[in-house]
Amino acid sequence: MSEVQIKEVQPVKNMGIWLIWALGVGTVVGDGVFLLIGEGITAAGPSAVIVYIIAGLVQMATMVGLGELAVHLPSGGAQAVWVEKFMGKGFGLLSGLSGSIGFLVLGGALSLALGTFTCWYFPNLDQNLWTIIFALFFITLLTLLNILGTAIAAKTQLALVIVLVGIMVLFGVFGIGSVDWANYSPFMPNGIDGALKAFPSGIYVYMGAVALCTAGNECRDKRDLGKGLVYSSITFIAIYTIGMAVVIGTVPFEQIGMNVSPYTVAAGIIFGKAGAFVLNTAAWIATATSLLMGVIYVPSRMFFQMSREGYLPRFFGELNAKTKTPVKGLLFGWVIAVLTILLGILNNDFVYVFLVNQATMMWIISWCLALVASFFHRRSLKGQNIKQVIGWKQPLFPLCPILGLLGCAYTMYLCLTDLWQLLTMSIWLLAYLAYYFGYVKKKSPSVNS
């Protein structure tokens, strides 16, 4: 398919290793660690610590498994480009749309989480009303930061992530001494079934880090993508593990829910009101960073690349001449986020539970296809010095992509045991097939599936 002819405005390559690291860490350490951790602990009890470590290692294996593709074929389209190159345009488009839509549908959930954390500072406000108001305000503000330029958004992300990591490290170091180890018994109160139920939420919590692969068009040194995948993984696995250990050891698992961050509750018990204020601020920062350079940033870059290849409407492939950002794609994401926030008025669980699970399955489809493509990519380099040719080589190949595929496949199985999740995912796949064969192939018969 020939490329859509659009006035050429190139992205600016102004992201170094620290900005890329911040993109990966900030996209992960968001609402998941501060709200969804409650869902995981409720299901698994204290054993959620082990479940989340395993989920983190699975996601780290996935990211390392994709490192060579990210470095060799840097692109805003990330998996859409990689899968297309090695598996054909049909699979490439499916991977790209699944990955980007997975982020897109989370705009409302993350914005509502940000509204929830903001309302904590103002207990006298009508919590239901002001959660919505704050959610709408901040999704608009963070979208504007993205519109103003990648460097502005990424540097804001870096500053917020540094503060966040500092708070979480201090919370772990000073909080571990206050842990009541009796809270760890019984370790697995709901048995192995309860622990398994927590696994999908653990995968969701970690999956966002792969967002840094979409910075390929805007990083100064493509080798930083591979390094960023490893460094960000180590950072957020450490943050989650230490933080969860303190939370579970401070707050009995029966008292943990999703109405308020368990970290805020634990910090209030250990450090008093000032500690709760600091940890709620950390929760706010974490969710803001997940929105800023995850939910808002990623879909616009992937839609940009797919539009340039003719798979999506032309306006997604336009860059603003002044800011060098895909403004129309960013505004499209803002509209979807606003709509899902408003849906939260009618059914908060639909937005924050059902759509989160759908996003997890979307990501799994996307990254499983990309992991399969990584084997074809490695085969295409047979006989060559990979580190010399690409600039970065994943360790222990093929262990990482195999572990990533196994973990993602098992998570998909757990998600699809819910009939409504299965039905919705089936509808999505049928809609994709109708779009691909009814529009993409019809527009260009030469496209191969």
Give, as one character, the DSSP assignment of residue 397.
T
Instruction: Report how far residue 100's alpha carbon sits from residue 302's, in angstroms, rounded to the nearest whole number.
Output: 6
Q: Percent of the chain scored above 70 by pLDDT? A: 91
Residue 357 or residue 46, greater confidence? 46
Question: 17-443 is classed in which CATH architecture?
Answer: Up-down Bundle (1.20)
Say which residues have a Cβ less than 8 Å from residue 360's Cβ, sequence separation at least 6.
102, 200, 203, 204, 207, 411, 415
The helix (H) or strand (E) run that includes residue 328 is: helix 327-346
Say what the pTM is: 0.82
Tens of pLDDT, residues 224-255: 888 888 888 888 888 878 888 999 999 888 88
Q: What is the pLDDT of residue 6?
A: 38
Can you tell me the distance from the alpha carbon of 103 to that of 208, in angstroms, rounded to the nearest whole number? 8
The DSSP secondary structure of 172-221, one letter per residue, reads HHHHGGG--GGGG-SSSTTHHHHHHHHHHHHHHHHHGGGGGGGGTTTBS-
Which of the two residues, 434 and 347, has the higher pLDDT score? Answer: 434
Q: How far is it, in rounded angstroms, from Cα 285 to Cα 279? A: 10
CA dihedral 403, 409, 411, 412 (to 10 degrees): 160
314-340 per-position pLDDT tens digit = 889 888 888 888 999 999 999 999 999
Q: Residue 119 is encoded by which pair of tokens?
A: 């309302």
How many C-beta atoms lie closer than 10 Å to residue 422's C-beta?
13
Q: How far are the Cα atoms of 34, 76, 101, 307, 441 from residue 316, in angstroms, in the given order? A: 33, 13, 14, 6, 19
Determine the angle formed by the axes of helices 191-207 and 37-44, rounding to 10 degrees: 160
CA dihedral 420, 302, 318, 87 (to 10 degrees): -100
CA atoms in the 13 A half-sphere facing the CB of 361: 21
Residue pair 25/211 in contact by the 8 Å Cβ criterion: no
Q: How far is CA 368 from CA 144, 217, 248, 406, 435, in A?
A: 33, 23, 32, 9, 21
Q: Specify the pLDDT at position 4.
A: 38
User: Which of the four pLDDT bands, split at 50, 70 and 90, describes residue 21?
Assistant: confident
